[in-house]
Amino acid sequence: MPRYALLIEYDGGPFCGWQRQSALPSVQGAVEAALRQLEADAPGIAAAGRTDTGVHATGQVAMCDLARDWDTFRLSEALNAHLRPAPVAVLAAARVAEDWHARFSAVERRYTYRLVARRAPLALEAGRAWQMRHGLDVAAVRAAAAHLVGRHDFTTFRASLCQAASPVKTLDALAVEEVAVPGGVELRFHLRARSFLHNQVRSIVGTLERVGAGAWAPERVAEALAARNRAACGPVAPPQGLYLTGVGYPEDPFAG
């Protein structure tokens, strides 16, 4: 049975997350419904990461097994036709080896969180970024973020119901990009790691926002990390600013 990798983009706003749910809309459910328009007996699909309710993606990767030997361009075109009008798009499809797995073959995940600081409402970006109406000290945010890069016990920055076997993770990069926007500034937090804990990115960004607002000193983030206690975390940032932007593999299935 041929296996295919799918590169997927979606607006998470209308969905209750990636994972299929019996009575609620999900991205996985939408893609599987489109696949079954092509092959009625198509099995379920698996993804590199299960994004939460309201979280977006520009680089989610999923895999599917199909009975037919599809031309990959025709496969992506057919899926997009059946996905309309849902805000989900298959950007590319690729044939992969039978032992390739969207989740277990991945060696890196990349996320971006968008935080906009300006007084005026977000007319065009509502639901796609977290808005603050106060200014942010970007230098302080960067100083605080530096404490989190590397291998650490991230108990403070994971959800209480996180099912990961260990809270120890290596955060390979946490870059804070400052972008001028009409009426204010946007901070884009770019994070890269092999894997993340549940709510880790949103917990980190919510805590760093407190530093930018002047409520926390940068050193307090290091203290919170060392505490290994969820109670030491700052507020959790809302989901609408979070994007899964890419998944890395030893060989890029979509290259070429």
**Tens digit of pLDDT for each residue in 57-67?**
999 999 999 99
52 is catalytic: yes
**pLDDT average, residue stretch 116-144:** 96
Single out the catalytic residue among 11, 52, 99, 153: 52
Cα separation, 188 vs 215, whole angstroms = 20
**Residue 23 phi, psi (nearest 5):** -120, 10
Give the separation between CA 251 and CA 253, rounded to whole angstroms.
6
Domains and CATH numbers, the chain: 3-105 (3.30.70.580), 108-245 (3.30.70.660)
34 vs 213: CA distance, rounded Å: 45
| Reported pTM | 0.96
pLDDT tens digits, 85-104? 999 999 999 999 999 999 99
- pLDDT bin (cut points 50, 70, 90) of residue 161 is confident
Q: Is the pLDDT of residue 160 over 90?
A: no
